[in-house]
Chains A and B, each alone.
Chain A
Amino acid sequence: METAPEPGGDVPPKKSKLRVQRKQPTLSSCPQAQDPFPGPAPVPAEAAGKFRRINKSKQLPHAKAQTRSRPHAKAQTRSRLEVAEAEEEETSLRAARSALLLAEEPGFLEGEDGEDTAKVRQADIVEAVDIASAAKHFDLNLRQFGPYRLSYSRTGRHLAFGGRRGHVAALDWVTKKLMCEINVMEAVRDIRFLHSEALLAVAQNRWLHIYDNQGIELHCIRRCDRVTRLEFLPFHFLLATASETGFLTYLDVSVGKIVTALNARAGRLDVMTQNPYNAVIHLGHSNGTVSLWSPALKEPLAKILCHRGGVRAVAVDSSGTYMATSGLDHQLKVFDLRGTFQPLSAQTLPQGAGHLAFSQRGLLAAGMSDVVNIWAGQGKGSLPSLQQPYLTHRLSGQVHGLQFCPFEDVLGVGHSGGITSMLVPGAAEPNFDGLESNPYRSRKQRQEWEVKALLEKVPAELICLDPRALAEVDVATLEQQKKERIERLGYDPEAKAPFQPKPKQKGRSSTASLLKRRKKVLDEEHRDKVRQSLQQQQKQKKAKPEGARPSALDRFVR
């Protein structure tokens, strides 16, 4: 990264050769006036890289070959791509530069040298921080209606919780203003806010119910029965429900229709989470596998064998890179979700975690019996290191639900003794985007946002593992189209025409010399082909694992 010299220093400003030299304006009043920071402000490369959308290393799958009728087709495509890339570069630089304007800094907790942050108690943090932050730590003592599930709204402003014995309440937890409190007179299995804080889905013993923010029952959805877990996909307006009967059902809450009901064929489903990056639903099963589902397919997108024994909890981080799972074998594992599905780290916990949650900045929380452990990585979105916990906290009851509050350094824990709001410095994204989810939005702003969000509701069939796939070239269809076109036309219009030597000067284009020239070119092409195939063979040989022992059967391999 380039560093700019101090403005008031004696050292004359260094002029980098790479920078664009700006012509100094000559002012008559102050002839010595010089810009100490000429040129645009430098941007660190990794900051700009975050905003980059084009992967330059990727080859285009099917660069159109130039033909006789379109001699410049390839060059035109190239130049168009170059322009697009240059624009992209410019945009990413500007976006990175705009990061200077972000107002807030993330929180942190650091021990003095040698001090372990895991030893820091909540009371210590409450004592050390300002009053506004200290007020975010609270305990709701609700022993009567026993273990609680909880859910924060997308803006992080509202909290809803439901107890096993039917107690359902929603409140603005920052001001502690109660929105509604009811008893549904039935066991509550799970609770979830829909797209805004005005709607609340509650999985009750028999059916799925939807309440508004005053506790009025709006819908009773009888097609979703015996629901154990709820997940809401905010950009698709889909409520995914996992039931005891083994069905994963997607309900479109904007029109009230069931999109699909998928039979997972794995018995009772009670471990579910969503991948916030691509809206794929992860289900944990009793045979130790985690299956990935999309409403577009009847079969799982992938199945990952994670544990010996059943899976107890699954969580996926906000960038869709890591998946944490915990099983009956008391293991806590973190998997890489970017293609390989390999475990990156594993840790055996004394009791095994029953609940897992990722924060916006990549902190991992695990609820083990009545203890909550939180692990942190090196920076934002990095792999949490499971060696040493970042924070621990003991609660007054068994943990039953766990969620980090969006845009606040708070972890909400539902347990058999009520609700606890824990302070976790450095958990949340400090700078929210006002047009996406604004914790301070007014009613009017919310209504405005709701209309916009409904207008750009993403269709359910677009859910797949790579959400950017829609912007890429569909190679399979392209190949198919090409084949059909060749069939239709009777010849390949993009085929390279065979070399035809041009007649040269007088005396030099005898038939023999023409033939010779033609042969020369053909031979050269043939040699190229052979060379390429040889190189490919060598590559394949190299790709063989080094450690593999040679087998007696190898002699038959060609």
Chain B
Amino acid sequence: MKVKMLSRNPDNYVRETKLDIQRVPRNYDPALHPFEVPREYVRALNATKLERVFAKPFLASLDGHRDGVNCLAKHPKSLATVLSGACDGEVRLWNLTTRKCIRTIQAHEGFVRGICTRFCGSSFFTIGDDKTVKQWKMDGPGSGEEEEPLQTILGKTVYTGIDHHWKEAVFATCGQQVDIWDEQRTSPICSMTWGFDSISSVKFNPIETFLLGSCASDRNIVLYDMRQATPLKKVILDMRTNTICWNPMEAFVFTAANEDYNLYTFDMRALDTPVMVHMDHVSAVLDVDYSPTGKEFVSASFDKSIRIFPVDKSRSREVYHTKRMQHVICVKWTSDNKYIMCGSDEMNIRLWKADASEKLGVLSSREKAAKDYNQKLKEKFQHHPQIKRIARHRHLPKSIYSQILEQRVMKEARRRKEVNRRKHSKPGSVPIVPEKKKHIVAVVK
């Protein structure tokens, strides 16, 4: 007879002294971990609830401007520095770490229409209603010195937007035409127009740095190549586009913020159909900015809220609003992918977390592991009705909530009418037009 009994030595399972940590032997055999799926589901449910409990995105409000904030710019080298321009011609530099204004410049008479930093971070450019382009040093003047621009260019018309090239000493402005300037000269290298209308914004492509996009008030978006004298092509939409933003990771993708409450993500190679129509705002979208990962973007709207959209989803994943925030004019996603800044009508710049429930500060390795685990669980069970309901729930101000309901009714009525028309017409005479194609009028090359 051969016999062996299971006999464990307790010394292998119990800690030696109280100063040790407890021994935890693991066995990953699924038979010892029953109900894996239901338990994971409950964990995912708890994680989702906790996420909503800890969703406190609002961090700070930077006040100091004496009129509505009209434009914002990030510093390319310093995460803590932010520049803002207001409707009374004042430009302020902020330190986000201390949440204080570090410098104030009375830059223009009338609105500061646009502000952009040089790629090296040594200086920045502002344009204003006084038909000037001014270049300023990033460092303040020494004691006793006057606050003076490095350079002032007097133009013939009002400039409405400015953007700097990502690698060279070149910048572009827009107004009645798109002008490309060399920093050393006082007249533009070249001017490009297509039709006669005021162009509201111009943006350089961060990857294919010679490409520019602009949007004008005759409802079109025009693409330019700096190396050519003429524009590349344009797409005409139903309504006016307020601004565009290029995807920092995919050179050919940009998103347009439109007056018809929607945002359109385009592939510049095929402008006739947008890749995605982002619908959730209930008023005109005024500004849009991509996250540095290129996976999401944030949009600011006239409906007093900002929303975060994944690039490949048509619905927003997050909406931020406060009682005191009025129409949001400009928005920026910081370069560390963690925060969002927005400037609004009521003179404040607000700082938000990009991930509403994220814990700030240094995480211990166990916290990090738990966070990753919970994230994966939430992802796994995201389509379950209970979890989806909790994860999607957002409190909305009454004005937005009632407008959403109203617009839903309007949309439904329009759809019903179309279905009825189709039903009572000759088959094929009322074609089914997908949502993506509905808002594109034409593409011109």
Residues of A within 8 A of B (CB): 50-51, 53, 68-69, 95, 98-99, 102-112, 115, 117, 120, 124-125, 128-130, 132-133, 136, 235, 276-277, 279, 318-319, 381, 407-409, 423, 425, 428-436, 438-442, 445, 455-459, 462, 467-471, 489-491
Of B6, B24, B42, B436, the contact of A456 (CB 8 Å cutoff): B42
A277-B34, A458-B39 known; A440 vs B14 contact (CB < 8 Å): yes
In whole angstroms, what is the CA distance A130 to B23 when docked? 25
- Which residues of chain B from 1 to 60 have any CB-CB distance to chain A below 8 Å in the complex? 1-8, 10, 12-14, 22-39, 41-43, 46
B422 in the interface, Cβ–Cβ < 8 Å?
Answer: yes
Taking A108-B4, A456-B43, A462-B41 as given, write out 5 further A-B residue pairs in contact, using a Cβ cutoff of 8 Å, ordered by the A residue number: A99-B28, A129-B4, A425-B4, A433-B25, A471-B380
Q: How far is the CA of A20 from the CA of B208 in the complex (A)?
A: 39
The distance from the CB of B422 to the nearest CB of chain A, in whole angstroms, is: 7
CB distance A425 to B5 under 8 Å?
A: yes
Tell me, yes or no, whether B361 is within 8 Å of chain A by CB: no
Contact A128 B33 (CB under 8 A): no
Q: Are B432 and A432 in contact (CB under 8 A)?
A: no
| Of the residues A53, A433, A440, A491, contact of B26 by C-beta under 8 Å | A433
For the complex, give the distance between the alpha carbons of A125 and B29 in Å. 29
Q: Is B144 an interface residue (CB 8 A)?
A: no
Q: Which residues of A contact B396 (CB under 8 A)?
A: none
Chain A residue at smallest Cβ distance from B384: A470
Is B6's CB under 8 angstroms from A458's CB?
Answer: no
Interface centre among A99, A433, A442 (most CB of B within 10 A): A433
Complex Cα distance A439/B38, Å?
25
Nearest CB on B from A326, distance (A): 25
Chain A: CB-nearest residue to B420: A490
The reply on B434 being an interface residue by CB < 8 A is yes
Instruction: List 15 A-B residue pairs with CB atoms under 8 Å apart, sorted by A's residue number.
Output: A50-B29, A99-B29, A103-B25, A108-B2, A110-B3, A129-B5, A130-B7, A276-B34, A431-B27, A431-B29, A432-B25, A434-B25, A435-B26, A440-B23, A471-B380
Interface contact A468-B37, CB-CB below 8 Å: yes
B419 interfacial contact with A, CB 8 Å = yes
The reply to whether B14 and A95 contact each other, CB–CB distance below 8 Å, is no
- Of the residues B25, B35, B422, contact of A431 by C-beta under 8 Å: B25
Whether A430 lies near B25 (C-beta < 8 A) is no
Closest chain B residue to A469, Cβ basis = B37
Find out whether the CB atom of A107 lies under 8 angstroms from the CB atom of B26.
no
Contact A107 to B6, CB < 8 A, known contacts A277-B34, A433-B33: yes
In the assembled complex, the CB of B332 is this many whole angstroms from the nearest CB of chain A, namely: 31
- Give Cα distance in the complex from A457 to B24, angstroms: 22
**Complex Cα distance A157/B376, Å?**
35
Task: Give min CB distance, A108 to chain B, whole Å.
Answer: 5
Residues of A within 8 A of B39 (CB): 235, 456, 458
Flag if A429 contacts B1 (CB, 8 Å): no
Cβ–Cβ < 8 Å partners of B25 in chain A: 103, 431-434, 438
Instruction: Report yes or no: B6 in contact with A110, Cβ–Cβ below 8 A.
Output: no
A51 to B13 Cα, complex, angstroms: 25
Could you tell me if A436 and B33 are in contact, using CB atoms closer than 8 angstroms? Answer: yes
Bound Cα distance from A258 to B2, whole angstroms: 51
Closest B residue to A108 using CB positions: B4
Contacting pair A133 B5 (CB below 8 A): yes
B31 touches A319 (CB 8 A): yes
Q: Say yes or no: A69 contacts B434, CB within 8 Å.
A: yes
- Does A50 contact B30, Cβ atoms closer than 8 Å? yes
**Contact indicator B46/A51 (Cβ below 8 Å):** no
Q: What is the CA–CA distance of A95 and B12 in the complex, to the nearest angstrom?
A: 22
What separation, in Å, do the CA atoms of A409 and B33 have in the docked complex?
20
Q: Is there an interface contact between B42 and A457, defined as CB atoms closer than 8 Å? A: yes
A132 CB contacts on chain B under 8 angstroms: 7
Contact A432 B27 (CB under 8 A): yes
**Residue of B3, B6, B27 touching A125 (CB-CB under 8 A):** B3
Q: Which of B1, B419, B432 contacts A124 (CB 8 A)?
A: B1
Contacts of B380 in A (CB 8 A): 471
